[in-house]
Amino acid sequence: MPGKAPIRRLVLDILKPVKGLSIVDVGSEIASMDGIEGVNITVKEIDVDTMTLVVTLEGSNINYEELEKKLESLGCVIHSIDQVVAGSKIVEETNIESE
């Protein structure tokens, strides 16, 4: 069985406590991980206790398990995985609409 293809992009829906690290700190911590070349964090929603974040990561070989551990250590929880791009190149989503 051949090895797994590298994960090149992940889009995650993440819950983060309002108190604690800022999204600047979370982004910087994640961006410093091996295999991650860039991070984009957008605040989607804020309530009294939590922030809902959309986190987009790109890199040469993102280790999902290590990423999940890092996020948990920062007080964050992955709510859902909304996109995965894997392989030797990044393939953009196509939008085909029926007529």
54 membership: H or E segment, kind and range: strand 50-59
Quick: pLDDT tens for 38-79: 999 999 999 999 999 999 999 999 999 999 999 999 999 999
The letter for the amino acid at 19 is K
> What pLDDT is stored for residue 90 in this prediction?
76
Residue 23 tokens, joined: 């999204």
> What pLDDT is stored for residue 2 in this prediction?
65
pLDDT band of 98, cuts 50, 70, 90: low
Residue 8 tokens, joined: 């090149």
The residue extents of the domains of the chain are: 16-86
What architecture is the 16-86 domain classified under in CATH?
2-Layer Sandwich (3.30)
Quick: pLDDT tens for 84-96: 999 887 777 777 7
Measured CA angle at 46 (ends 40, 50), to 5 deg: 90
**pTM score of the predicted model:** 0.87
